[in-house]
Amino acid sequence: MKVAIIMGSDSDWPLLEPAVKQLADLGIKNEILVASAHRTPGKVHDFAAGARERGVKVIIAAAGAAAHLAGVVASFTTLPVIGVPINSTSLGGIDALLSVAQMPAGIPVATMAINGAKNAALFAAQVLALENPALAEKLTAHREEMAREVEMKAARLLEKIGK
């Protein structure tokens, strides 16, 4: 199992790092690349076209502004591509969100929220879990842990306010 993560700029790394950590926590290998759909299109092509042969099962593509990276990647592979729009302009990431979400018919890209890299990692894991029962169990355990954390925080709050 391997997920590839491609980002349009090294400045996107702080937003992608939680996705890498989430994948590692679930035992999913990853590869990372910085490449621009506009400035290094050949590199993007080679990355996407060769992903399946490298054992990649899902690709996460993150970019801001025009955010064409996810769509360009999707145009070169039939692997699932998950787009993460990045807030990198004065438009608050809406420009990137629309660029990723409005793919033309025939070249789909799953679209996460603006800066939604952690959810992209979890969505990639869900795709991989279709063929991996052990990973599906890890995802279930992850959700159960999140529920426990909510309950613990709620109990602490109620104790604090005397209810």
Distance CA(60)–CA(81), nearest Å, equals 6
Distance CA(4)–CA(123), nearest Å, equals 13
Binding region for substrate: 9, 12, 39
One-letter amino acid for residue 104 of the chain: P
Q: Where are the beta strands (DSSP E) in the chain?
A: 2-7, 29-34, 58-64, 81-86, 110-111
Binding region: 9, 12, 39
Distances (CA, A) of 13 to 17, 50, 52, 151, 155: 6, 23, 24, 32, 35
